[in-house]
A and B are shown apart, each in its own frame.
Chain A
């Protein structure tokens, strides 16, 4: 019952490209920029992408973000085993005057 909707899981083989979607509404994604967080197993989350498509320092350019209308997407190309993690989208919601997160997507590298 998260405000932002993400698929619970995604998978791909090494070298493949995968995309994770994040769906919201006019009051959140439709009005504000989207950030993506990566949480490797057993670790704290870290900021991966901000302002829809800006990579945090040290994030490889295999990671890219986009936003269109009330949806956003995180794409990972050239998938690697170390990309196996949980990914969360987040944005400000004008109606709630607070931040909202997606439920998270568990990425498995087969």
Chain B
């Protein structure tokens, strides 16, 4: 069974940094592109970033471009997102999800984890 376990969330001040991780199991990790999706309190889902299976192609939402960096370590079956210059509006539960293929565009992705909460507040 595929499992995705997010971690690294917490309370951070505006302008601060945080790195989230997503540990994957039950799948051939490098065969799947991965993505981060977030949900602000009481709000809808928002795509954040995606990365191809081998990590060579990355995509970002306009709201995080230049501040967030997605990466992966296929030797550790782990996905990351490094977040800098955090803003109050980045407060959300962050979910990781696997794509159906190793290409990080189109198709579909499937969130499997419970998410990790990031709170940006002074």
Contacts and interface: CB of A to CB of B under 8 A. Distances in A.
Nearest to A51: B108
A32 B107 CA distance: 8
Contact of B105 (A2, A35, A97): A97
A47 B98 CA distance: 11
Contacts of B50: 98-99
Interface string A36-74: 010100001111001100001000000000000000000
The dominant DSSP class at the B interface is strand
Contacts of A97: 59, 105
21 contacts: A32-B106, A33-B107, A35-B109, A39-B45, A44-B95, A44-B111, A44-B114, A45-B45, A45-B111, A46-B110, A47-B110, A47-B111, A56-B110, A88-B44, A88-B45, A90-B47, A98-B62, A101-B44, A102-B44, A104-B44, A104-B45
